[in-house]
């Protein structure tokens, strides 16, 4: 049996635009210039690390208590956007791929850094398509540590070497590679150069192809 582990943001949905708007609001409030280019550094990275990057950009130091308050504030803003999400936000080609892989005996798991992953799966109506969900609430080490994918493989009962990971971030590809899984980059080949395979999106690949991808030699 094969396992297929999906990252959430940048693979299933484009929530990066909502993370950006929410971080931008906080950054402006605390006087940090934060651009859409800076936002690239936040992809696949935990909430706490994201705040640290923004504080570094503005050369700001803060107490743990202040950081907690800013993270809560940003998350409340972000959840405002998430509350308006629906099935239409699932990226092109993702639903056919999920259905095809399930119908052909694949086990499906989510492997995301987000603590809001379950809520987003509910809002977009795709929770029933997952056999396991591992997210930012379940792991202690963030990507590029492979913990999130190792846990996901264990939860679907598939050996790590029989799992394929779909990821849009460099850290996530590194995590999949160190777990001995087939790494599939969703995005630009130039950025995701360590991935075994790269596709611009699920709409660009036939679902049948996903079943037989192997580790690059």
**Chain positions contacting ligand G16, by CB under 6 A:** 7-10, 19, 42-47, 50, 75, 112-116, 136, 169
Rounded to whole angstroms, the Cα distance separating 109 from 133 reads 6
Rounded to whole angstroms, the Cα distance separating 61 from 77 reads 22
Determine if residue 194 is labeled as part of a ligand binding site. no
Among ligand G16, Mg ion, none, the one that 93 touches (CB under a kind-dependent 5 to 8 A) is: none
Among ligand G16, Mg ion, none, the one that 118 touches (CB under a kind-dependent 5 to 8 A) is: none
Residue in 10, 111, 146, 187 binding Mg ion, rule: CB under 5 A = 10
Binding-site size, Mg ion (CB under 5 A)? 6
Rounded to whole angstroms, the Cα distance separating 75 from 61 reads 20
Distance of CA 172 to the CA centre of its chain: 8
State yes or no: residue 135 binds Mg ion (CB under 5 A): no
Among ligand G16, Mg ion, none, the one that 136 touches (CB under a kind-dependent 5 to 8 A) is: ligand G16
Cβ proximity of 199 and 11 under 8 Å: no
For residue 139, the minimal CB distance to Mg ion (Å) is 14
Give ∠ CA 156-159-161 in degrees, rounded to 5.
125
Determine if residue 114 is labeled as part of a ligand binding site. yes
Q: Decide if 7 is catalytic.
A: yes
Give ∠ CA 103-105-109 in degrees, rounded to 5.
95
Determine if residue 140 is labeled as part of a ligand binding site. no
For residue 166, what are the β-bridge partners?
6, 184
DSSP character for 140?
S
From 9, 64, 194, 196, active-site residue = 9
**CB-wise, 42 or 132, nearer to ligand G16?**
42
For residue 203, the minimal CB distance to ligand G16 (Å) is 19
State yes or no: residue 44 binds Mg ion (CB under 5 A): yes
State yes or no: residue 7 binds Mg ion (CB under 5 A): yes
Phi/psi of residue 91, each to 5°? -65, 150
For residue 5, what are the β-bridge partners?
109, 165
| Alpha-carbon dihedral angle through residues 119, 121, 127, 131, given to the nearest 10 degrees | -100
Structure tokens at 153: 């493989």
Determine if residue 98 is labeled as part of a ligand binding site. no
Q: Which stretch binds Mg ion (CB under 5 A): 42-50, 77-85, 121-129, 195-203?
A: 42-50
Q: Decide if 131 is catalytic.
A: no
Output the known binding site: 7-9, 23, 42-47, 50, 74, 112-116, 143, 167-168
Catalytic residues: 7, 9
């Amino acid at each position: 049996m094969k396992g297929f582990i999906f990252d959430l943001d940048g693979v299933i949905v484009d929530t990066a635009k909502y993370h950006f708007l929410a971080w931008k609001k906080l950054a402006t409030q605390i006087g940090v210039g934060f651009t859409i280019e800076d936002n690239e550094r936040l992809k696949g990275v935990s909430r706490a690390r994201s705040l640290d990057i923004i504080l570094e950009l503005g050369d700001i130091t803060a107490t743990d208590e202040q950081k907690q308050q800013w993270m809560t504030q940003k998350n409340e803003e972000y959840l405002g956007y998430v509350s308006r999400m629906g099935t239409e936000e699932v990226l092109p080609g993702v639903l056919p791929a999920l259905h095809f892989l399930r119908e052909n005996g694949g086990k499906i798991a989510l492997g995301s850094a987000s603590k809001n992953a379950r809520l987003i799966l509910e809002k977009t109506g795709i929770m029933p398509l997952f056999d396991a969900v591992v997210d930012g609430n379940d792991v202690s080490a963030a990507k590029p540590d492979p913990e999130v994918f190792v846990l996901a493989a264990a939860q679907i009962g598939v050996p790590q070497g029989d799992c394929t990971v779909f990821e849009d971030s460099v850290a996530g590809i590194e995590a999949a590679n160190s777990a001995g899984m087939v790494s599939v980059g969703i995005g630009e080949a130039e950025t995701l150069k360590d991935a075994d395979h790269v596709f611009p999106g699920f709409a660009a690949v036939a679902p049948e192809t996903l079943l037989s991808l192997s580790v690059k030699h």
